[in-house]
C-alpha cells in the first residue's frame, strides 16, 4: 500500500500545471457549453444564449430571453439550462426557465425565436439535443426521454429510463446513440431511433453522475462519489480516477485520448491520458464551481462555471 501511494505521488508530481489561454466573458454565470466547428455555444443564468468564435473569443450572436417572475413575484432573468446547435440549418435550441419552476424549449433561427414547448405543457426538461434538423432528444428531470418532432410539434416516443433522478444527457457524434446519467450512478446507452436502452454501464460510479460524455466508443461519468469513470462501451470495463472532491464536470476529447475532470475544491481541472491512465496536466485558474467542460480538439478545451468567464485552455 505504501508503495502504491508513493507511485501515485510520483505520477502526479510529473504532471504540468497550465494557465488559461484566454478568458471569454459571457453575460452571466455559465450553465452549459457546446462546441460545434468554430462556434462555442453558451447558456447563462442571465437569460442568454450566446455564440462565440472559438479562436478569438469574439461574440458572434446573442439571444436575450425575457424576464420572468420568481416565486416572490420579482422579475428575474431566466436560467438557460441547455443549449445545442444544428449546423445544417444554422439553428439553435435552448431549455429556458419559465415561471413557477417550469421549463420551455425554444428554437432560434435567423433571429426568429419560437417556443416549441411552453410552460403549460409541464415538461420539466433538463437537456435538449438535436438528432437532425427536425428531431430533438429531450431528457426530463423525471428521467424520461422524449424524441420530439419540431415540424409537427409532437412527441414521437417517450419512455422511462429508470426511477432515479435525471442528471445529464449526451448524444454520440454520429447521433445514433445517447448516454443518460442519473442519481444511481448507472449510465444508460440508448438507441435513439428505436427509443430503447441497449446497454447499462454500471459498477464505476455508485452515486449521482453530475455529467456524462460519449466519444469514440467510450463513456464518461463524473460523480458525486468523487470518482471519474471511463467505460469502454463494448465490454463494460472501466478505469477509475479518484478525486479529493466532488467531480462536478467532465469531458472526453474527440478521439477519447484524454479525459478532463473538475478535480479539486479549488476548481482545478485535471487532464488524464487514457492509454497510460496517468495525470498529464492540472489546469489552474477557474474561480468558481465548474458546470461544464468541453473539448474542441484533442489539444483544446473550454470550461464554464458559476461566474461569467469561459476559459479557453490549450494543452501541449
Strands 112-117 and 125-130: unpaired
In angstroms, the CA 116 to CA 8 distance is 51
Q: What does the pLDDT profile of the chain (316 residues) look like in tens digits?
A: 333 333 333 334 447 999 999 999 999 999 999 999 999 999 999 999 999 999 999 999 999 999 999 888 899 999 999 999 999 999 999 999 999 889 999 999 998 999 999 999 999 999 999 999 999 999 999 999 999 999 999 999 999 999 999 999 999 999 999 999 999 999 999 999 999 999 999 999 999 999 999 999 999 999 999 999 999 999 999 999 999 999 999 999 999 999 999 999 999 999 999 999 999 999 999 999 999 999 999 999 999 999 999 999 999 9
Specify the pTM. Answer: 0.93
Contact 142, 166 (CB under 8 A): yes
CA distances from 248 to 54, 162, 216 (A): 23, 22, 22
pLDDT at 100: 86
Torsion sign, CA atoms 224, 210, 44, 271: positive
pLDDT at 4: 34
* Three-class SS of the chain: CHHHHHHHHHHHHCCEEECCCEEEECCCCEEEEEEECCEEEEEECCCEEEEEECCCCCEEEEEECCCEECCCCCEECCCEEEEEEECCCCEEEEEEECHHHCEEEEEEECCEEEEEECHHHCCCEEEEEECCCCEEEEEECCCEEEEEECCCCEEEEEEECCCCCEEEEEECCCCCEEEEEECCCCEEEEECCCCEEEEEECCCCCCCEEEEEEECCEEEEEECCCEEEEEECCCCCEEEEECCCCCCCEEECCCCCEEEEECCCCCCEEEEECCCCEEEEEECCCCCCEEEEEEEECCEEEEEECCCEEEEEECC
Count the neighbouring beta carbons within 10 Å of the beta carbon of residue 56. Answer: 10
Contact 185, 204 (CB under 8 A): yes
For residue 172, give the nearest of 151, 199, 144 by alpha carbon: 199
Residue corresponding to grid cell 420572468: 68
pLDDT at 11: 39
pLDDT at 14: 46
Cell numbers standing for residue 157: 416516443
Q: How many alpha carbons lie under 13 Å from residue 241 in its C-beta half-sphere?
A: 32
Amino acid at each position: 500500500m505504501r508503495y502504491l501511494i508513493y507511485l501515485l505521488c510520483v505520477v502526479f508530481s510529473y504532471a504540468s500545471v497550465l494557465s488559461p489561454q484566454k478568458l471569454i466573458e459571457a453575460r452571466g454565470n455559465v450553465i452549459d457549453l457546446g462546441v460545434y466547428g468554430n462556434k462555442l455555444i453558451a447558456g447563462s443564468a442571465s437569460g442568454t444564449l450566446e455564440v462565440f468564435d472559438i479562436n478569438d473569443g469574439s461574440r458572434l450572436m446573442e439571444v436575450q430571453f425575457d424576464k420572468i417572475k420568481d416565486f416572490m413575484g420579482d422579475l428575474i432573468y431566466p436560467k438557460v439550462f441547455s443549449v445545442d446547435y444544428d449546423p445544417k440549418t444554422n439553428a439553435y435550441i435552448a431549455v429556458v426557465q419559465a415561471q413557477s419552476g417550469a421549463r420551455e424549449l425554444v428554437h432560434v433561427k435567423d433571429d426568429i425565436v419560437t417556443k416549441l414547448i411552453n410552460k403549460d405543457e409541464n415538461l420539466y426538461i433538463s437537456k435538449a439535443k438535436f438528432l437532425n434538423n427536425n428531431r430533438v432528444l429531450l431528457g426530463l428531470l423525471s428521467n424520461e426521454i422524449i424524441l420530439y418532432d419540431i415540424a409537427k410539434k409532437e412527441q414521437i416516443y417517450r419512455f422511462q429510463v429508470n426511477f432515479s433522478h435525471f442528471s445529464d444527457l449526451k448524444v454520440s457524434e454520429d447521433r445514433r446513440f445517447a448516454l443518460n446519467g442519473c442519481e444511481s450512478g448507472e449510465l444508460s446507452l440508448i438507441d435513439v431511433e428505436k427509443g430503447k436502452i441497449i446497454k447499462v454501464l454500471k459498477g464505476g460510479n455508485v452515486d449521482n453522475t453530475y455529467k456524462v460524455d460519449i466519444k469514440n466508443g467510450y463513456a464518461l461519468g463524473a460523480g458525486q462519489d468523487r470518482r471519474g469513470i471511463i467505460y469502454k462501451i463494448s465490454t463494460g470495463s472501466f478505469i477509475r480516477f479518484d478525486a479529493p472532491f466532488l467531480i462536478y464536470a467532465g469531458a472526453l476529447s474527440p478521439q477519447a485520448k484524454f479525459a478532463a475532470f473538475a478535480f479539486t475544491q479549488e476548481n482545478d481541472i485535471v487532464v488524464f491520458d487514457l492509454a497510460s491512465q496517468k495525470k498529464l496536466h492540472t489546469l489552474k485558474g477557474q474561480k468558481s464551481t465548474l458546470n461544464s467542460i468541453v473539448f474542441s480538439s484533442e489539444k483544446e478545451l473550454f470550461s464554464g462555471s458559476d461566474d461569467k468567464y469561459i476559459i479557453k485552455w490549450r494543452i501541449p
